[in-house]
A = this chain, B = another copy of it.
Amino acid sequence: MRIAIVLFDGAEELDWAGPWEVLAAWARMWPDDGVEVYTVADSTEPITCAKGLRVLPDHSWESAPAPDVVVWPGGRGTRAQLGDESVRERVRSLAATGALMTSVCTGSTVYADAGLLDGRPATTYWGSLETLAGLGNDIRVDGESRFVDDGDVITAAGVSAGIDMALHLVRRLHSLERAREVRRYIQYDPEPPV
């Protein structure tokens, strides 16, 4: 089970770091589950994220092993991806391999722009619900759910929602028990103080 977390300039940090923590903790703490998580980008040069964090991707698309699961984060970097034929082709070819396509925040607008969400229910960042509705064809925008699992595509709401979506992924791909163990490992008993 290979899980690719996509990085690009302007990716919102917690969009990918939340799923990274959940999924990489699963992979590292339960090695017998046979999970591998890696980051992938256009090249292995440093990525500058939306709020300025600089990260080194594990792989370029050329060097990356074929993923079984893709996590596409959001962030202002997705704006440049909309309408970009090379990005559309990347998304479509990944989906065509049968990879489970997941997104966080405005990552779903990139999937929508590639036609991946046509006729499907999907969600996105609260501030981008209208943008999502204007992309693709007949996307049933869900502004209430924390994430929407539509089988081979799962879209999450904004930023921190990637943590919830990733725990759902652990449950779906392994078991409720393992997902609870990972939740316990990251002490995810949130108490927003404000």
Contacts and interface: CB of A to CB of B under 8 A. Distances in A.
Contacts of A39: 53
- Of A12, A18, A53, A125, chain B has the most CB atoms within 10 Å of the CB of A53
Contacts of A126: 184, 187
Contact of A187 (B13, B17, B53, B125): B125
Interface stretch (A64-72, A79-87, A110-118, A161-169): A161-169
Interface stretch (A19-27, A88-96, A130-138): A19-27
Given A160-B188, A194-B180, A55 B52 contact: no
A186 interface: yes
A164 B187 contact: no
Contacts of A167: 192-194
A163 B187 contact: no
- Give 7 closest A-B pairs by Cβ, nearest first: A158-B187, A24-B51, A14-B21, A17-B17, A190-B190, A54-B56, A179-B194
23 contacts: A13-B20, A14-B21, A17-B17, A21-B51, A21-B159, A24-B52, A27-B51, A46-B56, A53-B55, A54-B55, A55-B55, A125-B187, A126-B184, A157-B187, A159-B188, A164-B192, A167-B193, A168-B193, A179-B193, A179-B194, A180-B194, A183-B194, A189-B192
